[in-house]
Structure 1
């Protein structure tokens, strides 16, 4: 993990600074005229994003989140890579891959036209190579203004075709999960993980009244989170992603996880841009793939 002295060349006065934060982990803080964001360098894990014009964050972080070396953080934008969900053959490997719990290195930063940018690269180790012994450099490029942009870029330098599934597992801040409406998935097929991956067809807008865990396949559409309580619409745009995962744990499951406050689950909804299930990828030798998202909020 880079120390703060090694990070100084990437600082941008008045826009980008580095610090030691919760759990003794290094963080990058971005602040400009458009918005603010924080990124934990363990996992390249964005923990906060709030446009200046919004009275509430767009990205949700649990008030009971745990911060420790090698542990995932509840909330923000975990990077699920190089597999999504359970590993296909090794049940002892971590769910959603190892990228979200290992060090990433800052490799570039910049600022232009009101946008502050930060680029991070996953640092392979003996532990990661034991789970993924392939030469696949992966970077996350983050841009912050009044919108948040993220691009997850994987290159296959291994010389053989490789399977890849991935997601930006974004937790969005909402006024109340029982009141929001999610649009953009009308007519899509989905796998219902609450019902043992039963394949179903969705119709209309999506409302929430209980645990929901669905992989919507073959969809590249924008998603819209309409939130009357906060008076806003969060727009989720994506490129290079062919499925969308929608998740809310609801009360019982959240209580069992141990890193939610009693009612914290009511203020979050995960809408994840992914390539998984029917839409998992195969990267050919020399091929590069980019999963790119943009998040912004507008008045209803």
Structure 2
């Protein structure tokens, strides 16, 4: 559907409008009594979320590029149907293809509490089928309210089981990386990608002073980003997830990526809810798996 057709079928007054912000890039703009949000149809990529009266919760790089087929720096990229490099084919895109292919709008709805619900489905094609030869469907359900609820739903529609890796690769906006601590992963085991997947146990809250790329395993715990600079905490509650990834590329890697902006890495941290490495999901024929994350703001 083009912009006009989407607005005719799925717009909700001033609460949901569809706009083409660049050639081939349409965004759903959500504005309700609780919050503002933008969601790109490519990748069903939540680009922004800002509760009314608050600073943005989701970080989007000022240099983020909205270009068909290219990943967007910031927001909530969807890693699916694998996390990290593909298990057997290094030529396939890292973190899967879901974040760089078109999704379609399936439903929009104004909820009785003033929140807004949107549902998207990944559009299958010959290109996606060549990368993922399993019969399946995947949808993303988003509820924009005082909090942001994100639900990634995968169904095995085939006759054979398959292995699923996934994550909501969420970038959170913080005042400065030196002023924040991540709580909730104390005593959890993690694999450190910076140190060739060496295994460690987290002792205290996570403080970031250099490049961090860790997969915490076997944890369903909430995480809380305590931000002394903004005098707030961001709570990440999750269901259907046994891995939490914490990532900050730090100066050298961020500079090489070219789309972070000057010192951009200092104003963000990724705390990702997913199922990776030892926690990949095996989905039997006919089975449905739901990965849910809820992001909310609390006062410090």
Length-normalised TM-score, structure 1: 0.98
SS of 1:59's equivalent? coil
- 2:157 counterpart residue number: 157
Partners of 1:145 and 1:244 in 2: CA distance: 24
Alignment of 1:193-208 (within 5 A): 193-208=193-208
C-alpha displacement at 1:146, in angstroms?
1.2
- 1:67 counterpart residue number: 66
| Equivalences, count | 298
Length-normalised TM-score, structure 2: 0.98
C-alpha displacement at 1:104, in angstroms?
0.1
The answer to whether structure 1 residue 105 and structure 2 residue 104 are counterparts is yes
C-alpha displacement at 1:116, in angstroms?
0.2
The answer to whether structure 1 residue 227 and structure 2 residue 227 are counterparts is yes
Alignment of 1:1-300 (within 5 A): 2-7=1-6, 8-54=8-54, 56-112=55-111, 113-300=113-300
Partners of 2:57 and 2:195 in 1: CA distance: 30
SS of 2:4's equivalent? helix
Partners of 2:53 and 2:238 in 1: CA distance: 23
Alignment gaps of 5+ in structure 2: none
SS of 2:296's equivalent? strand
CA RMSD of aligned residues (A): 0.8
Partners of 1:87 and 1:24 in 2: CA distance: 28
C-alpha displacement at 1:22, in angstroms?
3.4
Q: Give deviations 1:14-68, integer Å, cap 9, x for gaps.
A: 21110001354000010111101000000000000000030x1000000111111
Partners of 1:23 and 1:299 in 2: CA distance: 40
Partners of 1:197 and 1:257 in 2: CA distance: 22
SS of 1:259's equivalent? coil
Bigger Cα displacement from structure 2, 79-88 vs 6-15: 6-15
SS of 1:252's equivalent? helix
C-alpha displacement at 1:6, in angstroms?
2.6
Partners of 2:208 and 2:99 in 1: CA distance: 27
Bigger Cα displacement from structure 2, 18-27 vs 257-266: 18-27
Partners of 1:192 and 1:102 in 2: CA distance: 30
SS of 1:26's equivalent? strand
SS of 1:137's equivalent? strand
Which 4+ runs in 1 deviate beyond 4 A? none
